[in-house]
Structure 1
Amino acid sequence: MFIEVKNCNNIDSGGIELTPNQLNIKYATNGTGKSTVAKAISFSIGDRSDGGKRLKDLTPFKGYGASPLEPTVTGTDTFSNLRVFDEGYINDFVFQPTELIKGSFDIFIRGADYEAGMQEIAVLTSETKNLLTSDPEISQLISDLGELLLAFGKQVKSGLHASSNIAKAFKGGNRVSSIPTGLEKYTNLIQCEQNYKWIKWQQEGKDFLDISSDCPYCTHDVADTRELILKVTDVYDAKSVESLNKAIVTFSKLDKYFSDETRKKIAEFITNIDGYSDAEAAYIVEVRRQIEQLAADLGKATNLGFSSLKNVDGIIEEVKKHKIDLSLYVHLNSSSSAEKIDIVNRGVDCLLEKAGKLQGGIAKQKILIEKLVKKNSTGINDFLRNAGYHYSVKIIEIGETYQLRLIHNTVDSEIENVKSHLSYGERNAFSLVLFMYDCLKSGADLVVLDDPISSFDKNKKYAIVDALFRKDNSFKDKTVLLLTHDFEPVVDMMLHHPDRFSKPTVAFLENKGGVLTEVPIARSDIKTFIDIAIDNAQLPIPEINRLVYLRRYYEITSNKRFSFDILSSLFHKRNNPSRIGQNGFIDLTEDEVVEGVTHIQRFIPTFDYAAILALLNDDQQMKALYFASENNYEKLHLYRVLFDDKPSEIESDVIRKFINEAFHIENNYIYQLNPSQFQLVPQYVIDECDVYVDGI
């Protein structure tokens, strides 16, 4: 399929071919528009799905003039689930505070098989759960027990926690139900539902009595009752009264669940005007322990399922333990309690009838989870080991979920704040591999990788390529667009290890004057730079262009035969061939010249030093040759020769550095594309050179 891009940043028109269910590698020099292609595809699909207008962000500057240009992308209609690896993904999804990647449980564990297993177990336990949930009073009982436990506060070695609601409410006695002498006239206010609010209002208003003897509310003189008014705030505290109200309400809710004797004792406790004794506090704490235990037993029974039974060898014995013996709860042994506990125990009995099937389902689910944990953690750890990173990952069970955690190989503990411990390269490598697992789980129908591995060294590059595209649980046979200015992955997959990787579709992208085109790259196009130099030195092209390649051949071989010195002297426009000596350049001897020229003539029989030197010194002929050349690589070398004896015209340090380095040797890769067939020199460099050559 062809994806056409128009009026997006530096791309006026053009596009790329995309082969479904294959890795599509687009190799290009920097400045071609790789990132623009990635964004154009991403924005096009995103705008179609959510109605956005992000594609307009790619409008070129010239598109804002009198004749506005509209960015367009066609050919992406078949894709709906696009995933793009970029800096935004790294920032938003990986290296979370508690796990390496957001949603690691969904990515690595939860799937169709996992959900089917959980559903099978849920069906077996559903009758029990339905019995327990069909009676709303059981849920309310559990809730009320929990509420009362909160009122007790934290456990202490003896007695009640001083800051608990119960201690605050009853330590000084219940003076709401038993109003102290002298305050009887306030009975209706003290015992109303909103009493604590009235007490707070009364406390806040007493300061106004210091201003005058008038009531701050009705202005009647209260000098005779001032002492009585102040007694209210001396006896009552708004927070304590509020705590008392809540405690009494909660105790009242549970009243029917207490045994007769306990109900009587609690009634005495909450109505005692003098506060509680240590013995009474100990009694209440004993009640608390039974409430806590019953609440725990009820909670376990209602949550019977995979999570509570997965680590148990004998399911039948474990399920039996969830039956509740009410006779052990002397404080809660009432007819109402017995009614609810009977429902719980009947639910447990129902589950016991299915214990055999339940045990089989749980065992099957455990095996599946262990398999998924091993499979996914092994895949990531193999990559880390192959790339030389001293880390490993573990998928750790956290309650009913799982999280991916990072471990350093020198310590047996999880790394916290992972992002601050990893280098830039480590973060990118981790992110890229985790991104792959995320894409596989989400079922992405198109994955775009925008120059993700160029910054890594050779070993790490191969480890990443191996992890992403070779294994079964990888991007292998998925529709992936890899945009890169790094040629090594192409060499590894097409030349060195074609047996290990599914055959990718590879093309070279070129942007000339805003027109984006691509040239397919075949395995036969990948050659050593020695082969390229020899082949091009014998092409039917101008002799000076052939000498450019031949000079490169001599530069990279050890057997130079003085030929390199001769060609180097020629390109630097020296009248006589020379070589570097201890004190500068020294002329070659006649024999050395003969030896060097003879070897050159094996490739170019018509080679004549003086004739070529005359051509090089003729700026107009060189200018004509420069503009007649269709190959950017050759034009770059002709530019360098033209300006060898002239002041540097180009002001850009970046372009000047590019020209100087390219003039010598491009040995970043042993294997390369032939520069006579692929425009490996960026067009923006040649455009700059054209300006200065045209001015000669």
Structure 2
Amino acid sequence: MIEITLKNCNSIDDGKITIINNGLNIKYGINGTGKSTIAKAILYTVEQPDNLKLLTQFKYKDGDSLPLVSGIDDIKSIMIFDENYINNFIFKKDEIIENSFDIFIKNDSYIKTEKEIDDFISGIKDEFEKNKELDELITNLNVISTSFGKKSTLKGIAKSSKFYKGLSKGNNLSEVPSEVIEYEKFIKNKKNTQWITWQSKGNEYLEIDNCCPFCTGDISSKTSKISKISEIYEPKSFEFLVNILDMLSEYGDYFNPSSREKLKSITQSRTNITKEEELVLKEVKDQIDIIIDKLISLKRLNHVSFTNDVKVNDKIKQLEINLDLLSHFKSERVENVISGLNNSLNEIKNKVNELQKKVGIHKNNIKKLVNKNKVDINNFLINAGYKYNVYFDDNANIKLKHIDSDLSITNGNQHLSYGEKNAFSMLLFMYECIAKNPDLIVLDDPISSFDKNKKYAIMKKLFNDKNSLKDKTVLMLTHDFEPIVDFFKIKKTNNIKNQAHLISTRKGLMEENKINEEDILTFMDVCDLNIERNENIIIKIIYLRRKHDAMNKQDNAYQLLSSVIHKRNEPQFKCDGELRPMLDPEIERAQEQIRNSIPNFNYKECIEIVSNDQVMIELFNNAKNDYEKLQLFRIITKLENVNNNVLHKYINETFHIENDHISQLDPHKYNLVPDFIIDECESIIKNK
């Protein structure tokens, strides 16, 4: 059991609540009790200790007494459902909730099978870890591939590629044309590309004067030769040519000797690329991209690689790098680097049947989870009266659609009502809790926005179904009494650890009072119990009149009791909003009926009591519970000269609200009246 103590938190000066582990703990309280404060205090203490100061009471804003929460050291993780969760709940375009795969599919069984598959193919991963040349091979092959352009065409390599542009006019670097032979040392220098670019940019100064812009020497006889360099060596094409030659020089041993010579011949040619040469370059480009794709796929190989419908044997075959069929790269250097990968693939092939079995189990588990979760959620939606269905796409992401359409809803915030959004938020919060399994789950007034049928459907889904929060440690803070009636009286849960308490705060002191099954009474039982329990006849009259009111039985007895409460010297009968004097036979029958419950009832004696303010005020001050004080206050003041509209509204609602409630808590045992209401009543009575 967890005992949580709160001090100096908002309206709570001091208080304690208990939480039973692995059970539902309902804390029922009226508005203003401090339920949200409890939720925030626990959340801040576990996850955001610095934020606990946000609950500092106004009387302590100078920092004298900071909020303090104790007793939750063993709670390391917490999830809370409140307004913030609902407001932050975003229906994404591709799925209802982020990480739906992790929430609905990635359970312990999934993780176990996932690891078993990864263990089967671990040899591939080990090969990449121990053979660093594999990553180097991928990097270098990408450099070579880039020279051939992004993608080959049907007839050859892309015209925009470095290879094509660099050789568009042939190789004029290995053999410098006679027209510019005197610049050969510059052209063949290691910094030749920079020089060509510099020389090309300098041409724009030739029109200024016939002298050299550096030495001012006469260059009128050399102007045509200087301009010729830019004609023969266009800077960008020249740069591409140099890059290609450098690439072949550095990575030439990746190619087999025959292919290397072919490429050398193509790059040394003085003329542009022929159609036959284009076909060779296309073959090289296509083969190098196949090898890169296979290497990257092998590096990324894991359980996910086998989730599609492809057979394991076919998948392994697709990943093998067969250099006999990729002849341009059948070189000693490439074979040495990839041999370990192919050996690992062969080892997997020897166990392919066992791996296929694991993959099959994995796929079936995913399919079962998808179907089960889909059915569970859709059954709830039907039972709760929502006209929506969910489904899972090929990636097991959960999506939403209306029952009248096959189209996925991509903007749930726009289409769903506030209540529908709350229901989905609550439902998916449950699944998220199941997936993350926190130490404590807090529900802060989770069902107040739903009607009674939906409340029961949601509570049943949350705590009674097999795949639910049943047997998890849950703190539910609510001002709804229906869940307690449903789960502790009518359709009791099968978890004996579940418990309910009324929490109330009086003068800053919060306390909880356990609610047992026998404490959940019909309003008739509440009235009978207090008529029998009380000694004072006016209190008895209050409860008996409430009982007749709840039964909608406005007979003679009801009329006579009402006349007492309204201090009428002569009994009156109210019918269709009009009052008339009660007839003697009516009074006689009424008194006889009332005396079955209150044997010593006498109308005139009761009128004398209720008409005596001093006696009634003493009765008010000595009342044993706040509910009775409220009813006595109404008799004393008749709500005349009471200018507090909130007080008016609360007392009138309390006077009649029992009609809407089948079950009640005994007000003698459970305090359900807010502090400020009683304080105001006491203040008015004191000054009367």
Q: TM-score, normalized by length of structure 1?
A: 0.85
Partner residue in 2 for 1:5: 6
Which aligned pairs between 1:150-165 and structure 2 lie closer than 5 A?
A: 150-151=146-147, 152-154=149-151, 156=153, 159-161=156-158, 163-165=160-162
Matched, 1:403 2:404: no
Q: CA deviation at 1:687?
A: 1.5
Partner residue in 2 for 1:474: 468
Matched, 1:671 2:663: yes
State how far apart, in whole Å, the 1-side matches of 2:15 and 2:579 are.
51
Q: CA deviation at 1:671?
A: 1.3
> How many residues get paired?
685
Equivalent residue of 1:327, what SS?
coil
Matched, 1:288 2:311: no
Matched, 1:563 2:557: yes
Partner residue in 1 for 2:595: 601
User: Which residue, out of 109, 114, 127, partners 2:105?
Assistant: 109
Q: CA deviation at 1:9?
A: 0.8
Partner residue in 2 for 1:123: 119
Matched, 1:55 2:47: no
Q: CA deviation at 1:685?
A: 1.6
More deviation in 180-189 or 453-462?
180-189
User: Which residue, out of 349, 352, 358, partners 1:361?
Assistant: 358
8 Å Cα contact 2:171/2:268 also seen in 1: yes
8 Å Cα contact 1:129/1:347 also seen in 2: no
**AA matched with 2:364:** I
Which aligned pairs between 1:514-553 and structure 2 lie closer than 5 A?
A: 514-553=508-547
State how far apart, in whole Å, the 2-side matches of 1:579 and 1:199 are.
115
1:615–1:336 distance in 2 versus 1, CA, 3 Å:
same
State how far apart, in whole Å, the 2-side matches of 1:73 and 1:615 are.
49
1:315–1:44 distance in 2 versus 1, CA, 3 Å:
closer
State how far apart, in whole Å, the 2-side matches of 1:533 and 1:626 are.
19
Q: What is the RMSD of the two structures over their aligned residues, measured on CA atoms?
A: 3.8
**AA matched with 2:649:** K
8 Å Cα contact 1:3/1:75 also seen in 2: yes
User: Which residue, out of 141, 157, 161, partners 2:137?
Assistant: 141
Q: Which runs of 5+ in 2 are unaligned?
A: none
Equivalent residue of 2:503, what SS?
strand
1:322–1:41 distance in 2 versus 1, CA, 3 Å:
closer
State how far apart, in whole Å, the 1-side matches of 2:186 and 2:604 are.
120
8 Å Cα contact 1:383/1:463 also seen in 2: yes
Post-superposition Cα deviations, 1:181-204, rounded to whole Å, max 9, x if no partner, equal 776677677666776677777788
Matched, 1:78 2:90: no
8 Å Cα contact 2:383/2:457 also seen in 1: yes
1:563–1:158 distance in 2 versus 1, CA, 3 Å:
farther
1:547–1:304 distance in 2 versus 1, CA, 3 Å:
same
Q: CA deviation at 1:510?
A: 1.0
1:384–1:184 distance in 2 versus 1, CA, 3 Å:
farther
8 Å Cα contact 2:152/2:285 also seen in 1: no
Partner residue in 2 for 1:498: 492
Post-superposition Cα deviations, 1:567-589, rounded to whole Å, max 9, x if no partner, equal 33443444444445568433333
**AA matched with 1:77:** D
8 Å Cα contact 2:157/2:285 also seen in 1: no
Equivalent residue of 2:17, what SS?
strand
**AA matched with 1:680:** L
Q: CA deviation at 1:14?
A: 1.8
State how far apart, in whole Å, the 2-side matches of 1:165 and 1:396 are.
42
Equivalent residue of 2:529, what SS?
helix
8 Å Cα contact 1:301/1:348 also seen in 2: no
Partner residue in 1 for 2:648: 656
1:195–1:410 distance in 2 versus 1, CA, 3 Å:
farther
1:509–1:130 distance in 2 versus 1, CA, 3 Å:
closer
Partner residue in 2 for 1:586: 580
Equivalent residue of 1:406, what SS?
strand
**AA matched with 2:329:** L
8 Å Cα contact 1:632/1:683 also seen in 2: no
Q: CA deviation at 1:561?
A: 1.7
Q: TM-score, normalized by length of structure 2?
A: 0.86
**AA matched with 1:677:** K
Equivalent residue of 2:541, what SS?
helix
Matched, 1:439 2:433: yes
**AA matched with 2:66:** E
Partner residue in 2 for 1:456: 450
**AA matched with 1:560:** Q
Q: Which runs of 5+ in 1 are unaligned?
A: none
State how far apart, in whole Å, the 1-side matches of 2:242 and 2:422 are.
58
Partner residue in 1 for 2:17: 16
Partner residue in 2 for 1:389: 386
State how far apart, in whole Å, the 2-side matches of 1:535 and 1:219 are.
119
Matched, 1:613 2:613: no
More deviation in 538-547 or 10-19?
538-547
User: Which residue, out of 404, 410, 417, partners 1:416?
Assistant: 410
Q: CA deviation at 1:642?
A: 3.0
Equivalent residue of 2:589, what SS?
helix
More deviation in 67-76 or 454-463?
67-76
Which aligned pairs between 1:96-245 and structure 2 lie closer than 5 A?
A: 96=92, 98-131=94-127, 134-151=130-147, 152-154=149-151, 156=153, 159-161=156-158, 163-166=160-163, 169-171=166-168
Post-superposition Cα deviations, 1:325-384, rounded to whole Å, max 9, x if no partner, equal 433334334444455565444333222222233233323333333344344444433333
State how far apart, in whole Å, the 1-side matches of 2:287 and 2:480 are.
70
